Structures are given as C-alpha cells and as structure tokens.
Amino acid sequence: MTSRARLLLSLMMGLVLVGSGPEPSVGPGVAVPPAVATDRVPVVLVPGWSAEGQDLQPLKKIFVQAGWPDSAGAVVEFEDPEGSNVLHAEELAAVVEALRAGTGYDRVDVLAHSMGGLATRYYMQHDGAGKLRRVAFLATPHRGTYTAYLAWGDGGKEMHPGSAFLMDLQQFRAVPQDVEAITVRTKVDLHIIPPESATLVGLPNLEVCCPSHIGILTHPEAFEVVRRFFTRMP
C-alpha cells in the first residue's frame, strides 16, 4: 500500500471517530498437479483500492497453511491500484485465465477485498461467464461509500455512492446464476459508510467481530468463514 493511501486511511479513521456449484472439471489434455486436492479449488486473491499484490501475500500464506498448494493460488497485481475497475477487471481476467490454464480447472474461486469486489463483479458480468465457481466478497462497498470522496483516481470516483459505474453495475445480477457467492463484513468497518453497502440482496451476508477494514484480510474468524465456503461440498 502506498504512503499516500496509508495517510488517507489514517485521515478516514480520524474523521469517522470524530463524527461518529459443481465439482471442478479438468480440461482435455491438461494434467492437474497432484498437490491440488479436490476440495482445494484454485483461488484468485483480488486486492482493494490502492493495495498492491504484496499486501495479500500474508493471506495467501494462510491459504497455504490451510491446505491450498502454493501453485493453486494467484494474487492480482494491478498496474494502477487506484485505477478504474473496468481496467482492473481486464487484469483480473488475465490472472483467471493463467490460473485455469496452469491448474487444469475450468472454474476457479475468487476472494475479493474492498474495491476488488467491484472489479470482480464487472468481470463476471462482461467476461467471466463459466470461469468462476465461488466468490467471497470481503468488505466490498457494493453501493459505494462516502469515504471514497477522500480517495483519488478513477477507482475512488467509481466508489462514490450513485456513481455512473455503480449504476451500471446495478443493472445486472449481483452474480451470475451459475456462481455461488457470499459477502463478509466486519462490525467496525470505518471505511464503508453506510455499512449496509457491504451487503448484497439475495446473497448470504455474514458479519464477523471485530477486525478493521484491512484487518479482515487475515482475521481468523473471517478466514474460517471463507475456508468453509470454498471447501464445502455442493
């Protein structure tokens, strides 16, 4: 995370305190590495606004400790972490394709944090048909957040409540019919205002206590929710 982003997160916290599917299938002729267990579908980790791939490496290590082979996980590294979700969706698409090709799975799972969930939804609506099995949204401002007015870049603008990007996103189903999804939020998220923006109608909306917006990434209770969701039988 950039120094500007860390400064913004501190400012945001200060302002708030003052003011208030099916089993995976194997493509023809592609061998799945033996280490990839049937209950450990490959997973793509998608960072949020201003976050870098290295910020999700601790989370990837947790997945490995929980039984996911290192080769069955991929972290998206956005060229412009504060850029548009439309461009982020294109970069996510490339990572998904590489992971599918490298593991032999037709469908992979996605864990998306914060604004990364918006890019993931855009990807599913425009290019992700039949490529994702399950998606877990962690602290994603699905209907925007007022703290985004303190953010910069096209991504920050797209998180403004009522933005053209969000209005376009709402014209489609939250997730395609063939994708299972959940939202996970924290009771003390100071970055998503109003807090209900982290939920989606029609999905299981789960709440954990009480990590921060960033802390939810490595919070034991939040990860256990995601682990059970990704590994449960259909």
**Domains of the chain, first to last:** 39-231 (3.40.50.1820)
Strand ranges for the chain from DSSP E: 43-46, 73-75, 108-113, 132-138, 180-186, 205-208
pLDDT for 230: 97
Residues of the chain with pLDDT under 50: 7-38
- Predicted pLDDT at 234: 82
Per-residue pLDDT, 2: 58
For residue 191, CA distances in Å to 34, 44, 71, 140 come to 41, 23, 33, 10
Cα–chain center distance at 52: 13
What is the per-residue pLDDT for 3? 52
